[in-house]
């Protein structure tokens, strides 16, 4: 019998990471603990959805209140989570004796705390792609703080911005995935023996999961060495991180990649049978007029707070979404009267996407979120990741870990 990998899922939402990993191999990936808590809401819709679909007893506690001892006892092999893009600046503690302190409420520091007390072999995280460029006044600082944190925890880190529509999905959803692995692993030793260029374009975790062209886009490659002091990074460091990269011992190699032979699923393929679409999803005349305005070109004179007049301009977009191509990025405002909301035209009638269709855009089973209101179903899908991308990465982790165990056994035998 194959040995299971113990998985802990942080900021679990409705369970996209777990679902993707279990699609890869439910017998190997065993979620031993999961946490989902929404501080700003009395109703814990995402948690309730997670519990109803997976069963068990997931945690609905503020992650900051969970004791370190719990993580030490879980024997975590793989830590996963999608966390908010926040301000990752740090400062010297008031006493000066406790080193650095990150801003309170920043959930990345909770990821750090879990790692410090559990030392998982692998960490797989997801975030919006603007993380690589934040903050705007010191580009790359926040991501550099994260990389240096992993460096100090004795991990190598590889990252890639993945557009799901380029790897078979029905949605143009760009997210940065971060894969960290302990630098004492045999996999790390293998990766350390090859160039950053080969890792990004051929032999790395993401190159094997999401193939790319063999050359960087417009020759965009940069390198740097992260400062040893994280406070120095927070105060002074700025750098252009491209869409793919590797960090080993503080040394960074990063490049702009292009998907190899990109393929997507057309929007028409995820639509439900029109005969079962409820009338409430079709646009009224008033709604149709509002969308025609929102999606049309416009130039509007506005006045700033200091009295300065300026022209706000916005280009036009198609009145309805193209059914022959993938959908646009779905936001939490999906289903509302908003320029970003998808509008499809079927049999001459315009309508919103149904909640089931939004689930399909992200690769979830139909009615995964059926226990929620329509508004919350749209909101949760706007926050979710594309499950199929996690399944692909899960398969790569399975192969990686299988090789890791084989190499470890050979070393023991030879010894």
SS3 (DSSP) at 12: coil
Same domain (yes/no): 365, 396: no
By DSSP bridging, strand 5-10 and strand 78-82 are parallel
Residue 386: the pLDDT is 98
Residue 411: the pLDDT is 61
Question: Total structural domains in the chain?
Answer: 2
Same domain (yes/no): 192, 318: no
pLDDT at 412 over 70: no
SS3 (DSSP) at 360: helix
Q: Which domain holds residue 11?
A: 5-261+387-414
In whole angstroms, give the CA distance from residue 178 to residue 33.
21
At 330-370, the pLDDT tens digits run 999 999 999 999 999 999 999 999 999 999 999 999 999 99
Same domain (yes/no): 407, 279: no
374-383 helix and 45-54 helix, angle to the nearest 10 degrees: 80
Same domain (yes/no): 228, 323: no
pLDDT at 1 over 70: no
Same domain (yes/no): 248, 284: no
Same domain (yes/no): 158, 278: no
SS3 (DSSP) at 73: helix
Same domain (yes/no): 365, 402: no
Calculate the average pLDDT of the chain: 93
Structure token pair of residue 41: 């809401």
Contact present, 269 and 169 (Cβ < 8 Å): no
At 226-259, the pLDDT tens digits run 999 999 999 999 999 999 999 999 999 999 999 9
Same domain (yes/no): 257, 289: no
In whole angstroms, give the CA distance from residue 289 to residue 43.
34
In whole angstroms, give the CA distance from residue 184 to residue 167.
31
Q: Which residue has the higher pLDDT, 105 or 271?
A: 271
In whole angstroms, give the CA distance from residue 355 to residue 279.
14
Residue 98: pLDDT band by 50, 70, 90 thresholds? very low
Contact present, 124 and 178 (Cβ < 8 Å): yes
Q: pTM for this structure?
A: 0.94
Same domain (yes/no): 246, 281: no
Give catalytic status of residue 358 as yes or no.
Answer: no
Number of other residues whose CB lies within 10 A of the CB of residue 49: 23
Same domain (yes/no): 178, 105: yes
Same domain (yes/no): 300, 406: no
* From 49, 85, 224, 380, active-site residue: 85
């Amino acid at each position: 019998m194959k040995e299971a990998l113990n998985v802990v899922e942080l900021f679990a939402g409705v369970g996209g990471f777990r679902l993707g990993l279990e699609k890869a191999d439910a017998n190997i990936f065993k979620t031993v603990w999961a946490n989902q808590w929404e501080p700003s809401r009395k109703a814990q819709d995402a948690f309730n959805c997670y519990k109803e679909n997976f069963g068990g007893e997931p945690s609905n506690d503020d992650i900051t209140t969970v004791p370190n001892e719990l993580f030490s006892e879980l024997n975590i092999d793989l830590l996963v989570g999608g966390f908010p893009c926040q301000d990752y600046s740090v400062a010297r503690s008031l006493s000066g004796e406790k080193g650095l302190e990150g801003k309170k409420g920043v959930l990345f520091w909770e990821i750090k705390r879990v790692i410090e007390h559990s030392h998982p072999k692998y960490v797989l995280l997801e975030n919006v792609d603007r993380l690589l460029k934040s903050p705007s006044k010191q580009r790359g600082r926040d991501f550099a703080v994260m990389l240096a944190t992993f460096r100090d925890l004795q991990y190598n880190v590889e990252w890639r911005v993945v557009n799901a529509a380029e790897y078979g999905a029905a949605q143009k959803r760009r997210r940065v995935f971060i894969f960290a692995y302990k630098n004492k692993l045999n996999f790390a030793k293998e990766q350390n023996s090859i160039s950053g260029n080969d890792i990004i374009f051929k032999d790395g975790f993401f190159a094997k999961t999401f193939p790319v062209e063999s050359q960087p886009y417009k020759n965009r490659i940069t390198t740097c060495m992260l400062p040893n002091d994280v406070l120095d990074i927070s105060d002074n460091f700025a750098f252009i991180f491209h869409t793919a990269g590797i960090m080993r011992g503080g040394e960074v190699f990063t490049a702009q990649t292009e998907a190899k032979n990109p393929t997507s699923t057309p929007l028409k393929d995820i639509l439900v049978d029109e005969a079962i679409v409820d009338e409430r999803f079709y646009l009224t005349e008033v709604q149709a007029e509002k969308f025609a305005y929102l999606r049309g070109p416009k130039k509007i004179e506005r006045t700033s707070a200091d009295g300065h007049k300026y022209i706000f301009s916005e280009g036009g977009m198609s009145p309805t979404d193209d059914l022959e191509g993938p959908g646009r990025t779905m936001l939490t405002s999906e289903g509302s009267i908003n320029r970003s909301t998808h509008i499809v035209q079927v049999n001459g009638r315009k309508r919103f996407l149904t909640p089931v269709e939004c689930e399909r855009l992200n690769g979830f089973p139909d009615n995964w979120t059926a226990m929620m209101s329509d508004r919350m179903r749209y909101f949760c899908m706007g926050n979710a990741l594309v499950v199929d991308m996690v399944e692909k990465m899960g398969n790569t982790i399975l192969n990686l870990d299988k090789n890791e165990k084989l190499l470890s056994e050979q070393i023991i035998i030879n010894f």
